């Protein structure tokens, strides 16, 4: 069989059966089984029970794990999501499966009305989606998926097809969502940031009149304890924001909720660096995108960093100031390669200090300040630890030379993923499972942490003639300060 035929065979092959000869083999196989059960044929649902459609940033994390067992399926995961992209460049946070009953999840397609309410923004006509977005992890995921099997990726033209769509996605965010005028992206709904119920939203949300409880039915309470989920009051405000955005034709800039979030912007910056590498792989220069990522990093530090607290905070664009709630979002910029050294050092200190307690009182990073008045070890994003933020911070610790702490966090993520049956989130003190079990991104990121494919685990693998990329690679090789 010639090389071309071999590549074609790999494209059409099912998920590989990988049996590592280590103690981690059983965990690997269990994680693969979760992803197999949650696979629909074109994408992966986060959870068969609670989340029966395709979610945007979930699919990016899922693809990162899938690349280790089926690079083709990982590519398909991202391609399916991008097929639902709107004409204005936005990637919707949900792509709805038409075979799922409307009452299985709220807000359902008949709430969002994407094909009609989103017509002016270029919503697709052949698939129903939501109208809001989620964090832009996609270019980073696409680059990592490519690096898992470059020959297969090139044979399928994977990067050539996704690059213009990812570039349009970033243009949308940078041009339509700079609502504060300082260069950073604003979210217009808490669901966009992904950490839906975080205390950082309490003050901006307080200005929003909630939708009447009788106007919606919360399907989430069919699958989770009410005391672990957002309150009806908060949920009513979420519905009001989404309704107003929909009724305004999904136009940006006119709503009363606009917040610059450190994690959302950090993930955009990381994906800008990844998009630069994708461009370089396709024969263009990535210098301009690396430079843009550095400008965004500077804006992030200028607008959201508090050196006295050693943490990034959200900025309420409509309210005019920082929201001084300590959340895990404020730690996520640690994953950036060009972060000033003093900022990275302070973030590590905060991560391991009394407010988050990593390695002392907690094994996984809580989503909210352990000492905060709103802390709740079980309630959605108000205290529990999540595996995707653990994965991001493991990368950040490793990138900035904190190898010992990164190793400890990696071990904790793997151990608790196994004992919690790949839980959606867990008690940060005990590791007790909360939310859905057999959660896809937990399984996928477990696979990623289990594997070593000869990379630095930062998204900056390989060599490049691009001088900025070379500097970034050098920056990743700092000494262990742990």
Q: Which residues are catalytic?
A: 196, 424
Please report how many Cα atoms fall inside a 13 Å half-sphere around the Cα of residue 27, on the Cβ side: 24
Closest to 216 (Cα-Cα) out of 238, 196, 201: 238
Q: Which residue carries 């007790």 as its tokens?
A: 432
Other beta carbons within 10 angstroms of residue 191's beta carbon come to 21
CA distances from 361 to 352, 355, 366 (A): 9, 10, 10
The tokens for 363 are 């094994």
The tokens for 392 are 């991001």
DSSP line for 50-80: TB-SEEHHHHHHHHHHHTTT-HHHHHHHHHH
Other beta carbons within 10 angstroms of residue 421's beta carbon come to 15
Query: For residue 51, what are the β-bridge partners?
Result: 47
Give the SS3 label for residue 471: helix
- The phi, psi pair for 183, rounded to 5°, reads 100, -15
- The phi, psi pair for 387, rounded to 5°, reads -80, -30
CA distances from 296 to 42, 258, 311, 412, 466 (A): 34, 18, 17, 32, 19
Spacing of C-alpha 291 from chain mean position: 23
The tokens for 158 are 């994977």
CA distance 11 to 70: 9
- The phi, psi pair for 315, rounded to 5°, reads -115, 125
């Amino acid at each position: 069989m010639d090389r071309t035929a071999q590549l074609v065979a790999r494209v059409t092959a099912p998920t590989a059966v990988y049996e590592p000869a280590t103690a981690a083999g059983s965990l690997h196989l269990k994680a693969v089984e979760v992803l197999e059960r949650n696979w629909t044929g074109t994408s992966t649902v986060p959870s068969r029970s609670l989340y029966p459609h395709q979610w945007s940033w979930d699919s990016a994390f899922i693809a990162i794990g899938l690349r280790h067992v089926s690079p083709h399926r990982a590519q398909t995961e991202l391609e399916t999501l991008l097929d639902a992209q709107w004409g204005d460049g936005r990637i919707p946070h949900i792509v709805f499966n038409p075979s799922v009953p409307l009452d299985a999840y709220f807000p359902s397609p008949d709430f969002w009305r994407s094909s009609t309410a989103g017509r002016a923004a270029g919503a697709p006509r052949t698939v129903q989606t939501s109208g809001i977005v989620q964090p832009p992890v996609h270019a980073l995921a696409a680059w990592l998926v490519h690096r898992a099997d470059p020959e297969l990726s090139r044979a399928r033209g994977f990067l050539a097809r996704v690059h213009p769509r990812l570039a349009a996605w970033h243009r949308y965010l940078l041009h339509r969502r700079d609502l504060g005028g300082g260069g950073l992206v604003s979210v217009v709904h808490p669901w966009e940031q992904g950490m839906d119920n975080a205390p950082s939203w309490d003050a901006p949300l307080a200005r929003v009149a909630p939708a009447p409880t009788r106007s919606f039915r919360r399907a989430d309470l069919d699958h989770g304890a009410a005391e672990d989920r957002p309150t009806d009051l908060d949920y009513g405000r979420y519905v009001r924001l989404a309704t107003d955005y929909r009724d305004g034709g999904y136009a940006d800039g006119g709503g009363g909720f606009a917040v610059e979030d450190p994690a959302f912007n950090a993930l955009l910056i990381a994906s800008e660096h990844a998009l630069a590498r994708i461009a370089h792989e396709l024969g263009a220069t990535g210098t301009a995108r690396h430079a843009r990522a550095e400008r965004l990093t500077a804006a992030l530090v200028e607008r959201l960093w508090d050196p006295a607290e050693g943490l990034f905070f959200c900025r309420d664009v409509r309210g005019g100031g920082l929201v001084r709630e300590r959340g895990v979002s404020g730690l996520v910029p640690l994953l950036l390669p060009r972060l000033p050294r003093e900022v990275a050092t302070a973030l590590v200190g905060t991560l391991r200090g009394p407010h988050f307690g990593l390695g002392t009182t907690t094994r996984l990073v809580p989503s909210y300040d352990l000492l905060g008045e709103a802390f709740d070890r079980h309630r959605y994003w108000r205290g529990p630890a999540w595996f995707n933020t653990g994965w991001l911070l493991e990368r950040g610790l490793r990138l900035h030379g904190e190898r010992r702490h990164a190793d400890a966090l990696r071990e904790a993520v793997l151990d608790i993923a196994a004992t919690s049956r790949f839980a959606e989130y867990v008690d940060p003190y005990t590791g007790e499972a909360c939310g859905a079990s057999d959660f896809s991104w937990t399984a996928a990121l477990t696979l990623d942490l289990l594997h070593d494919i000869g990379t630095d685990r930062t998204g900056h693998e390989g060599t490049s003639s691009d001088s900025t990329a070379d500097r970034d690679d050098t920056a990743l090789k700092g000494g262990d300060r742990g």
